[in-house]
Amino acid sequence: MDLKKYLLNSFLSVCSTIIFCNSCNNKHIAEEERDFYTQNTHKLPEYTPEELQQIVLINSPEVITGFRKKLKEKGTKWLTSGTEPKPYDLWSSYRENDLKGLEQLFPSLKNLFDAFGKLIKNPTEEHEEEVVAINKKLPTDDPKAAEALRTFAQNIINQKLTESLLAYQSFFQFVHYDDDDHVINNFHVTIKQLHANLAGWEKDGNLSGTKLWKNIIQKEKANLIKHSKEFQYSENKKAIEESLKIAERLAISPYCVSYKELKETLPHGLDKLKTILGEVHLKETADVDLLKRYCKLILSND
């Protein structure tokens, strides 16, 4: 090969390497930017199989003893006005409506649930010992049983929250937490309040969040695309649409969403929406003002 051809080939090789590396670098930066602008800071934690099993079953004698003592101390305080459902009725409704499928998959749970019902009705040491004894006999090493428990626990996060589940959880939290903490952690009250707020919003004749957002996009689309980083990503547009649809369902009923939708999907989309509305400095039209108030109405209950 003559010197000129050698030098030309060397030059082209170097140039192509630089271009290729620069292209890879730009692609990497673009992926990092996408991850940053689309990240969900409300992502629920991932549970191990053992943690999922503990969500469903109380397998520690110490935990059972602690629950029995708190139940004995605070159970009567639950019935303050005389209108509250009795603890055993809450447990029975929860068992019938939400645990029946698990009981069918895992028949040995029947004795445990029967004993736990006795403990809730009358929190004596004798009933506590019965729960502990039955709990020890459960075939937790059975792969099929363990898989059934894991599947059920995973479904809890993704299935619609029922009134019976939330009512029982409210009582359980009342027993488990200190009085002030219970007010903060009363999930059932939060959902019912959110439903009341959204139902009231629509009853007052206001447009839904979905309609307000569509109006704003139609009027300000060029401005949004030009100035908002968040709006450029399809993941964020989808997240916003999903969150606004969840809000519309909550306006109809408090028992129409899953835990994941309420604690992960809904706040994630609304956070992206709030960021976009703040980024682009939109003219304060009636639609923009209403949509900001709509987001605040929901997120204040988060």
Taking only the tens place, the pLDDT of each residue in 181-196 is 545 457 888 899 999 9
pLDDT digits (tens, 9 = 90+) for 116-138: 999 999 999 999 999 999 888 87
Higher pLDDT, 155 or 292: 292
Exposed, middle or buried, 168 (CB in 10 Å: 0-12/13-18/19+)? buried
The pTM assigned to this predicted structure is 0.81
Q: Band the pLDDT of 25: cuts 50, 70, 90.
A: low
| Separate counts of helices (H) and strands (E) for the chain | 16, 0
Over its C-alpha atoms, the chain yields an Rg (Å, rounded) of 27
Q: What is the model's pLDDT at position 103?
A: 83
- Looking at the DSSP bridge assignments, the partners of residue 258 are 160
Which residue type sits at 20?
F
- Looking at the DSSP bridge assignments, the partners of residue 160 are 258
What is the percentage of the chain residues whose pLDDT exceeds 70? 78
Rounded to whole angstroms, the Cα distance separating 60 from 66 reads: 10
CA angle 58, 192, 201 (to 5 degrees): 155
CA angle 264, 269, 273 (to 5 degrees): 150
Rounded to whole angstroms, the Cα distance separating 189 from 70 reads: 22
Rounded to whole angstroms, the Cα distance separating 145 from 224 reads: 52
| Cα dihedral across residues 132, 138, 141, 144: positive or negative | negative
Rounded to whole angstroms, the Cα distance separating 225 from 236 reads: 13
Rounded to whole angstroms, the Cα distance separating 187 from 193 reads: 10
Distance from the first to the final alpha carbon of the chain: 73
pLDDT digits (tens, 9 = 90+) for 78-106: 887 778 899 999 999 999 998 888 888 77
Q: What is the model's pLDDT at position 267?
A: 95
Give me 274's structure tokens: 């709030």
Rounded to whole angstroms, the Cα distance separating 266 from 190 reads: 14
Q: What is the model's pLDDT at position 19?
A: 47
Q: Band the pLDDT of 156: cuts 50, 70, 90.
A: confident
Residue 243 has pLDDT above 90, yes or no: yes
Contact yes or no for 212/294 (Cβ under 8 A): yes
Residue 278 has pLDDT above 70, yes or no: yes
Residue 61 has pLDDT above 70, yes or no: yes
Give me 165's structure tokens: 């589940």
Q: Band the pLDDT of 49: cuts 50, 70, 90.
A: low
